[in-house]
Structure 1
Amino acid sequence: MDLIKPPRVERRPAVAYVGIRVVTPFRGMLRVRDDLMADLVAWLEGHGAGGAGPLFFRLHVIDMDGPMDVEVGAVTREPVAGGDQVRAGTLPAGRYATLTYRNHSLRANKTLLEWVRANGVALDRRETSEGDAFGCRYEAYLTDPRTESRKTRWETELSMRVAD
C-alpha cells in the first residue's frame, strides 16, 4: 500500500449523492462494485449528471462471512432525484477518521483501524445480527475510474465516521 496522506480525523459537511445499494456476498463483492459503478455512470450520463463525482464505495453493513450491504455512489453538486435503481442519499456531516492511499484496500483498512484503536477514536458503528453496521464508511475514488482503468493506480480516500 502506498500511503499518500496519513491517518487523521477531519470534520466534514453533509454531502449529497446518488447511489445504487445492494446486498452481496463478500466473495465477488468487488466485481459487483465494478458492475454497479458502470451502471451508475451510465445513469448519470443519461440524466445529464456525467460530471458528478467523485465515485465512492460505501459499506453499510460488513459481514466477511455472509452478505455485505454495500452501495456505489457519486457525489452531486446538489440533491438529484433518483430512479428505480438509483437513489438519492446523503453522506452525513461529522468527524471522520480518514487516510488516503493507492493500492491494497485491505491493508489500508487495517492501517486505519489500527490507528483508530491506538488513538482511542470511537467509530460510529454497532454490531447487529447482520454484521458490523456503520453510520458512514466509504472509499472515495479520487482518481476517476472512468479515466484510469488500473485499480492499482487509483488514489483512494478511506473514511469512517467517528461517534459523537
Structure 2
Amino acid sequence: MEPILEPALETRPEQPYVSIAIEAPLSEWGKVNALVPEVFDWLARRGVPPVGALFYRYHSVADDVLSVEVGVPVATPQEGDGRVRAGSKPAGTYAVLVHEGHPDRIRDTFAKLDDWAHREGVEWDLVDGVWAGRFESYLTDPAEEPDLGKWRTEVAYRVVG
C-alpha cells in the first residue's frame, strides 16, 4: 500500500473488532499501550485471527484525559467478556492520512488533517463532544520494523455526510 501523503476521503464498510476501553491522560499513556498484548492474547486464546492493524479508537478528550479503546479488527462479530468488548468501526466516509515516522510525532499529522478539513469545509462526525469514528491504526509490525522512526500509522476520522 502506498502512503497517503495528502488527506483523502474514503468510503468504508462497517468493520467488527474487539477492544479494551480506558481513560488516561497523555502523561500515563503507558497504561494504554500496555493493553495491546492483552487484546492479542484474548484473541489467541479464542483462536480468532486479527484481520487488520491494531488501532486506537478515540472517543473524547476532557481535562486532558482521553477516552480511548485499544482494538483489533476481526472477520466476524465476537462476544465480549466484560473487560474485552465487541464493537465495530462504523461505516461511512472517512478523511484518511498516513503518518510516517515516530508515533510521538503523530500530532503533526492530526494538525495536517485538521487544517485540510478546515480548508475543504469537511466536518468531523461528533455528537456531544464524542467522535463517531476517530481511529489511529498501526500499519507497521514492530516485530518486522523495530525502528519507530520508520513506522507508518493511518489516521482516519469519520466525516459528516
Instruction: Name the TM tier (shorter chain).
Output: 0.7 to 0.9
Matched positions, count: 156
Aligned-partner Cα distance in 2 for 1:38–1:146 = 13
| Percent identical residues | 33
2:79 to 74, 78, 81: 81
In structure 2, the CA distance between the partners of 1:82 and 1:124, relative to structure 1 (3 Å rule), is same
- AA matched with 2:37: A
SS in 2 for 1:28: helix
Which structure has greater helix proportion?
2
Instruction: Please list the CA deviations of residues 1-50 of structure 1 after superposition, one character each: whole Å capped at 9, or x if unmatched.
Output: xx931201111100000000111123222x12210112111111111124
Mapped partners of 2:77, 2:143: distance in 1: 22
Q: Distance in 2 between matches of 1:89 and 1:147?
A: 28
**What residue in structure 1 maps to residue 118 of structure 2?**
117
Specify which structure has the higher proportion of strand: 1
Structure 1 residue 157, shift from structure 2 partner: 0.8
Mean Cα displacement is larger for which, 79-88 or 49-58?
49-58
2 CA distance for matches of 1:152 and 1:28? Answer: 22
From 127, 140, 148, the counterpart of 1:151: 148
- Describe the superposition over 1:121-141 as per-residue Cα deviations: whole angstroms up to 9, x where unpaired: 011024x5xxx4201101111
- In 2, the alpha carbon distance for the partners of 1:158 and 1:73 equals 14
Alignment gaps of 5+ in structure 1: none
Work out whether residues 44 and 52 of structure 1, in 8 Å CA contact, stay in contact via their aligned partners in 2.
no
Unmatched tracts of structure 2, length 5 or more = none
Pair 51,146 (structure 1): closer, same or farther in 2 beyond 3 Å:
farther
Aligned match of 1:55: 54
User: SS of 1:105's equivalent?
Assistant: helix
Q: Deviations over 1:102-159 (max 9, x none)?
A: 1221111011111111110011024x5xxx4201101111112454344332211100
> Paired residue for 1:142?
139
Q: Which letter does structure 2 place at the counterpart of 1:163?
A: V
Match of 1:96 among 91, 94, 97: 94
